[in-house]
Amino acid sequence: MSSAPATADETVEPATKAPKPGWRALIAALGNRKTAYMLLFGFASGLPYTLLLSTLYAWMSDTSIDLETMGVFSLIGLAYSFKFLWSPLLDRVNIPVVKKLGRRKQWIVTAQFLLGIVLLFVSQLDPANAIGLLSLMAALGAFAGATQDVVMDAWRVDVADEKATIDMLSTVYQLGWRTAVLVGGALALVIAQATDWPTVYLIMGAVMTAIAIAAIFAPEPTRSVASLTADDDALRELRQAGQLEPKIRGWALAAVGVLWAWALVTVGVFMFRSLSSNPETRPDSVEFITGMGPIIVIATVVIPVIIAAVLENWRRKGKHVLTGSVPKMTALDGFVDHGYRALILPLTEFVGRLGWAIIIVLTLVLSYRFTDTVWGSFAYPFYLGELQYSKDEVAIASKGFGVGALMFGIMLGGVLFSYIGRMAVLFIGALTAALSNLLYADLALGGTYMELVSNITGFTTLVEWLGGDLRLAKLMMAIAGENVAGGLAGAALVAYLSSITSKGYSAVQYALLSSLTFLVGTLGRGALGQMIDEQGYYPVFILTTMLGMIAVVACVIEWMREVRLGRKAGITAP
């Protein structure tokens, strides 16, 4: 998956836009220094994400770590879900000494060096005997990875020009990210099969360190005068008549900040207690998710939305608003206004524009990617441990053939947009993503239906001709179905989220919404791991299929809402 832009500032895109990149233009563009570095940065983004939140579970599976522990461990992925919280600081805070590299590069280089150190350190650990230290290092790596993603997204916008267009930079970024998935997934499995896991992470740590050294020489964008003026004007506007009083904004920012901080601490304490305890004495994951999970979602999503709704209502009614402009700000006032503009104002605009429909939208966003995000951490244990495939076979099926199926799903989604519209594709994506869990349910029972489909389509013959067997063909068939559905759903979700964000706050609103898509699935992994340990894989796949229907229902309701809005406006809903 790709990271969404998450910086608070908006930069001005070049007035001249080149046509969308084709393959020839893409290859030619790699000679451009900015484009070449964007390819490298895309690789640097995908590599730690794959190694820490996917491949590492194959190593754990080899050391016989139980699935509940893996599920709790996977909560480190929340760093990517909450990256929008510290994104404004990355635009305002400088690192001593390193700041000489530039406003963007100082954070990119620092995060990448930190990731290199983390991977090298992980290579010296034994997951079975040092799960607590491993989780600490992985959490640090996830934080560094999320941080570099935030800054590299901003770097991409800042350096775009007539030659290195934003379309071209975004395309090569995705190319680099997908290449990293192959290297950190398929190649890592092959190396592990030939050597061992410490060697894999030692090599990848060295690669990440080399990227950090190369990043020192990347072009540093110069912030435009127009961008600085826009920021200053936006902050000054908060101090004009008709805007909410500074103390009200301060209390709102403090309340939301406390709620988000509480949620992070609560999850962190649960992780520490779980990973530092014996299986017999650790906290119950199902009890935590069923008890605290809804409270965490309420604290991080529902209450902030209510606060935003109240603020917007007060502003419209003229309550607690300024009657005149406010004199020069103090340092504390400036900090509060920056935080309010970065985190609260985009939310109030969103709530004010959608009204009660915010309930439907948030339900859709929170549930849409649940089926694949909650399952991702257990893929390797399922393939390697439960089904007893080799690392080479999983590398071929999952990270080789599977990535191709994923890219096909993304392209299929792009084609379908033109024929049936965005909301229809969104619905199909939700439905197929949920139903694709049944493919794995079949594999858990022996793969009878996968074998039938593979034989009828001739896929088994093809795999055998290439040196595989029926058993590998069944795995590839299931992974292909799941990845095509996931790619289609991912493309549909990106288009939908982009359509409901406001241009003035697109960066923060998109970052917030895209982060929420992974929240519920990430929180549910601990409980899912415990359920697999106790009941096996098959009941879990049936459960996740049923839970996926929540997103299907939400899509239907949202589709009807958009059709109704389109009729009122006299246009056809997309």
**pLDDT per position as a tens digit, 311-333:** 988 988 888 888 877 766 666 77
DSSP 178-201: HHHHIIIIIIHHHHHHHS-HHHHH
For residue 18, the model assigns a pLDDT of 44
Would you tell me which CATH number, out of the four given (3.20.20.10, 3.40.1080.10, 1.20.1250.20, 1.10.150.310), belongs to the domain 12-223? 1.20.1250.20
Helix axis angle, 358-368 to 506-516, nearest 10°: 60
Token pair for 553: 């229902």
Q: What is the mean pLDDT of residues 116-131?
A: 91
Evaluate the CA torsion angle 476, 553, 534, 54 in order and state its sign: positive
Lowest mean pLDDT among 233-242, 318-327, 416-425: 233-242
Which one is predicted more confidently, 131 or 196? 196
For residue 432, the model assigns a pLDDT of 92
27: number of Cβ within 10 Å: 10
Task: For residue range 142-186, list pLDDT tens digits in order.
Answer: 999 989 988 887 787 777 776 766 666 766 777 788 788 889 988
Distance CA 196, CA 73 (A): 22
- The CATH architecture annotation of domain 369-574 reads Up-down Bundle (1.20)
496: number of Cβ within 10 Å: 24
> How would residue 28 be classed by pLDDT, with cut points 50, 70 and 90?
low
pTM: 0.68
- The answer to whether 396 and 469 are in contact (CB under 8 A) is no
128: number of Cβ within 10 Å: 13
- Computed over every residue of the chain, the mean pLDDT equals 80
Query: Is the per-residue pLDDT at 544 higher than 90?
Result: no
The three-state secondary structure class of 244 is strand
- The answer to whether 35 and 168 are in contact (CB under 8 A) is yes
Query: Is the per-residue pLDDT at 123 higher than 90?
Result: yes
Secondary structure percentages of the chain, helix, strand, coil, to 5: 80, 0, 20
For residue 569, the model assigns a pLDDT of 62
Query: Is the per-residue pLDDT at 213 higher than 90?
Result: yes
For residue 10, the model assigns a pLDDT of 35
Query: Is the per-residue pLDDT at 481 higher than 80?
Result: yes
For residue 30, the model assigns a pLDDT of 57
Query: Is the per-residue pLDDT at 99 higher than 80?
Result: yes
H-type alpha helices, 436-518: 437-444, 448-457, 459-465, 470-500, 506-516
Token pair for 557: 């309701």
For residue 167, the model assigns a pLDDT of 60
H-type alpha helices, 160-245: 166-181, 188-194, 197-215, 225-237
Q: Domain segments of the chain: what residues?
A: 12-223, 227-355, 369-574
Query: Is the per-residue pLDDT at 434 higher than 60?
Result: yes
For residue 417, the model assigns a pLDDT of 75
Which one is predicted more confidently, 352 or 432? 432
- The answer to whether 439 and 481 are in contact (CB under 8 A) is yes
Query: Is the per-residue pLDDT at 47 higher than 90?
Result: yes
Centroid of chain to Cα 298: 20
427: number of Cβ within 10 Å: 20
For residue 212, the model assigns a pLDDT of 95
> How would residue 48 be classed by pLDDT, with cut points 50, 70 and 90?
very high
Distance CA 121, CA 74 (A): 19
Each as own residue / partner, the long-range contacts of residues 344-348 (CB below 8 Å, 24 or more positions apart, any chain) are 344/249, 344/252, 344/253, 344/256, 344/307, 344/308, 344/311, 345/238, 345/505, 346/502, 346/505, 346/508, 346/509, 346/512, 347/304, 347/305, 347/308, 347/509, 347/512, 348/308, 348/309, 348/311, 348/312, 348/315
Distance CA 147, CA 154 (A): 11
Query: Is the per-residue pLDDT at 225 higher than 50?
Result: no
Percent share of the chain, pLDDT over 70: 82
Q: Is 401 exposed, middle or buried (0-12, 13-18, 19+ CB in 10 A)?
A: buried
Q: Same topology for domains 12-223 and 369-574, yes or no?
A: yes
For residue 191, the model assigns a pLDDT of 92
> How would residue 207 be classed by pLDDT, with cut points 50, 70 and 90?
very high
> CA angle 56-59-63, nearest 5°?
140
Q: What is the DSSP letter of 436?
A: T
Query: Is the per-residue pLDDT at 367 higher than 90?
Result: no
